[in-house]
Amino acid sequence: MKRQVVVVGAGPGGCTAAFYLAKAGIDVLLIDKETWPRDKICGDSYLPALYPFFEDMGIMNEMKAAAACNPKALRIIDPDEEYADFDVEPWLIAPRRIGDDIIRRGALTSGADFMENFQAEELIIRRGVVRGIKGIYNNREIEVEADAVVIADGSHSALARQLGIYKEDPEYILYAGRAYYDGVEGMEEGKFEEFYTPSTLPKPTYSPICLTWVAPLYQGKYASVGITIAEKYLRETGMTLEGLFQWWCENTKFGRERMHNARPVEKLKGWRLPGSRKIEKNYAPGAVVIGDAVSSAEAAFEYGIPSSMIGGRVAASFLPEVLSSGDFSEKKFSEFQTLVGKELNPGLEYNANFRDNILANKKTMKQFQLWAKTQPGYPHLIYDQSVVKFITEVLHKEIVLSDKKITQ
């Protein structure tokens, strides 16, 4: 089989690339290893930055209708289990099994071909240029030749690994778990809660990311409850992901309050969330890599979908030009890193700054909390604006808020 472009992975990133490529008249084959619709372990958030994509695909109304919650407020609980509330621009929470499938169907309206249950295992590389993929389909090893490949095979990417641009940074790679519950108590409608690493952990470790979250779904009838922790800190606890989650449920003030009558609707499932501070090498001659496959998000307190979809859109505008110019050089493809970097680096920088200056330290975390409560307008301060104000006015450091809104 020979196609102009093969897009590997039909998550939001791959779908966006396939959608815009097909729209530009390119012959596209989108493949995915899963049987759709498929689930994904996630906070299930579709941020406002995605709405323009949904409009283009004609799925905005469907996404809104599928939403199980429209959070407009955020509660941050610090290691001493004290909290502050903030307002945020409302976003959509919808189970990924539903939301991602709407995106996939929306993407295919532009004419891209789609094959599921197709596991891409290896890139075909000739004379240093990616020329297609090898994979398993219907229990057979098959090859698809292509002029270019968009690698969007996600967090566990086998293809990015083959190219040597896959990251395994224990400080930035998170392991996450998510379960759906009913009977979670004490939630407020439209309020997303983030619990930071409690000081009472048996083997004390402090991870500069929220340890657990609770989000009310369907008017609080159900809840999405999850855990996130970087590899490095999880290892320090000596616990399994599930063990740590159970510990939180049973041994923290809020954990007990929320969970003592909760019943799981679905078991805790785990996932690996990659993250980085800036866009690094995301290409090889003949291939571009987007989304989690190249750790394009700051997974700690940002959602991966905007970074993936923005990456997909950049790929779709970059590749037609490459195909018509016939320039498959390293230099040409390196432009892709610059293009994606221009879009995503400001957001990543903001996040890194936030992490380093506030979240990395229990003390500043506490300080931020106390400070917020003294501000006029509390508890209706806008979260990201408050972060900027605190860092510049209290800590006297610089921070720039990205207009890309890839974060909360």
Binding site for other proteins (CB under 8 A): 33, 41, 119, 136, 139-141, 156-158, 161-162, 164, 166, 168, 175, 177, 231, 234-235, 238-243, 267-272
Lookup: tokens for 143: 């090859």
For the bound state, the minimum distance from the C-beta of residue 145 to other proteins, rounded and expressed in Å, comes to 20
For the bound state, the minimum distance from the C-beta of residue 122 to other proteins, rounded and expressed in Å, comes to 8
Nearest to 19 by CA among 53, 48, 70: 53
Q: Which amino acid is at 165?
A: I
Q: Outline where 115-262 has alpha helix (H).
A: 158-162, 231-237, 241-251, 253-259
Our CB check for other proteins shows the closer of 12 and 274 to be: 274
Lookup: tokens for 375: 């501000």
Q: Ramachandran region of residue 383, left (φ > 0), alpha (ψ -120 to 50) or beta?
A: alpha
For the bound state, the minimum distance from the C-beta of residue 276 to other proteins, rounded and expressed in Å, comes to 16
- DSSP reduced 3-state for 263: strand
Q: Which residues contact 126 (CB under 8 A, 6 or more apart)?
A: none
**Tally of CB atoms within 10 A around 72:** 15
Our CB check for other proteins shows the closer of 182 and 236 to be: 236
Our CB check for other proteins shows the closer of 2 and 97 to be: 97
| Strand boundaries in 152-262, DSSP class E | 174-182, 191-196, 210-217, 222-230
For the bound state, the minimum distance from the C-beta of residue 141 to other proteins, rounded and expressed in Å, comes to 7
Our CB check for other proteins shows the closer of 97 and 342 to be: 97
Q: What is the dihedral of CA 297, 302, 308, 311, to 10 degrees?
A: -60
Contact between 30 and 114 under an 8 Å Cβ cutoff? The reply is yes
For the bound state, the minimum distance from the C-beta of residue 240 to other proteins, rounded and expressed in Å, comes to 5
Our CB check for other proteins shows the closer of 139 and 374 to be: 139
Q: Is 345 exposed, middle or buried (0-12, 13-18, 19+ CB in 10 A)?
A: middle
For the bound state, the minimum distance from the C-beta of residue 269 to other proteins, rounded and expressed in Å, comes to 4
Our CB check for other proteins shows the closer of 140 and 331 to be: 140
Contact between 150 and 282 under an 8 Å Cβ cutoff? The reply is no
For the bound state, the minimum distance from the C-beta of residue 162 to other proteins, rounded and expressed in Å, comes to 7
For the bound state, the minimum distance from the C-beta of residue 61 to other proteins, rounded and expressed in Å, comes to 33
Our CB check for other proteins shows the closer of 41 and 130 to be: 41
Contact between 94 and 47 under an 8 Å Cβ cutoff? The reply is no
Q: What is the DSSP letter of 103?
A: H
For the bound state, the minimum distance from the C-beta of residue 106 to other proteins, rounded and expressed in Å, comes to 25
Our CB check for other proteins shows the closer of 272 and 332 to be: 272
Our CB check for other proteins shows the closer of 236 and 335 to be: 236
Our CB check for other proteins shows the closer of 175 and 354 to be: 175
Q: Which residues contact 356 (CB under 8 A, 6 or more apart)?
A: none
Separation of alpha carbons 264 and 150, rounded Å = 38
Q: Which residues contact 152 (CB under 8 A, 6 or more apart)?
A: 7, 8, 9, 11, 13, 14, 17, 289, 290, 291, 293, 308, 311, 312
For the bound state, the minimum distance from the C-beta of residue 227 to other proteins, rounded and expressed in Å, comes to 10
